[in-house]
Chains A and B, each alone.
Chain A
Amino acid sequence: AQSVTQLDSQVPVFEEAPVELRCNYSSSVSVYLFWYVQYPNQGLQLLLKYLSGSTLVKGINGFEAEFNKSQTSFHLRKPSVHISDTAEYFCAVTSQAGTALIFGKGTTLSVSS
């Protein structure tokens, strides 16, 4: 069975500051990893995904994440955040067998000026 732990429930930052949202996973098999963003009362939008290959993955809106197998982590980073990045961020995992995504509890990113 897989699980995902998002280490921070809330992350407040100032505009133009860098940010890192942490995600650790647990799985006995190879995994695919994802980061989704959710704005209030909306569905989820894919930010980026790791399937295989390069461990540094670049996504939309300037976000990137690094897959670290030894530390079983997939932390999300952005060098300079905007007010519009304020949202809920979910890390998710699935096995190569294509089972349903398992989500972390989410991290609320609050960007203020």
Chain B
Amino acid sequence: GAVVSQHPSRVICKSGTSVKIECRSLDFQATTMFWYRQFPKQSLMLMATSNEGSKATYEQGVEKDKFLINHASLTLSTLTVTSAHPEDSSFYICSARSGGGRNTGELFFGEGSRLTVL
């Protein structure tokens, strides 16, 4: 099946620094990628929808200046957490939908990135 790679899997940073998380579709072109955030023992909350070559669409309550999303190519989307604070500590998961063929709605997920802000 389709593979989505996410990097890094774990990152620890100091408060006030910025962290970049990469999401790559390895064997298909992803015209659309989604970024989710998951707090411990909770469900996945959609943060933003990233479309290749255009600005990301953010969900209500998500600060676009805090969570910068770039989808510069059909295989790569990045999420940058700017000026991170302890409350940004979470598990971030990206997912991608193939741009080719019939859109079945299925998303392929990365393995997640656990961010810990000290």
A binding-site residues for B, Cβ under 8 Å: 32, 34, 36, 41-46, 49, 51, 90, 94-96, 98, 100-106
Contacts and interface: CB of A to CB of B under 8 A. Distances in A.
Contact of B105 (A51, A103, A105): A51
B16 to A, nearest CB: 26
A92 B55 CA distance: 26
A91 to B, nearest CB: 10
B43 A90 contact: yes
B95 interface: yes
The residue among B4, B6, B95 with the most chain A CB atoms within 10 A of its own CB is B95
Contacts of B110: 43
29 contacts: A32-B104, A32-B106, A42-B111, A43-B4, A43-B6, A43-B93, A44-B93, A46-B106, A46-B108, A49-B104, A51-B105, A94-B105, A95-B105, A96-B105, A98-B32, A98-B97, A98-B105, A100-B46, A100-B49, A101-B34, A101-B46, A101-B95, A103-B43, A103-B44, A104-B43, A105-B42, A105-B43, A106-B42, A106-B43
Contacts of A105: 42-43
Contact of A49 (B46, B91, B106, B109): B106
Interface residues of B, number: 25
A4 B107 CA distance: 17
Nearest to B48: A100
Given A90-B43, A90-B44, A98-B97, A43 B105 contact: no
Given A103-B44, A106-B42, A43 B109 contact: yes
A26 to B, nearest CB: 16
Interface string B86-112: 000001010101000001111111111
A34 B97 CA distance: 14
Given A43-B112, A104-B43, A98 B103 contact: yes
A82 B111 CA distance: 23
Contacts of B91: 41
Contacts of A90: 43-44
A44 B109 CA distance: 6
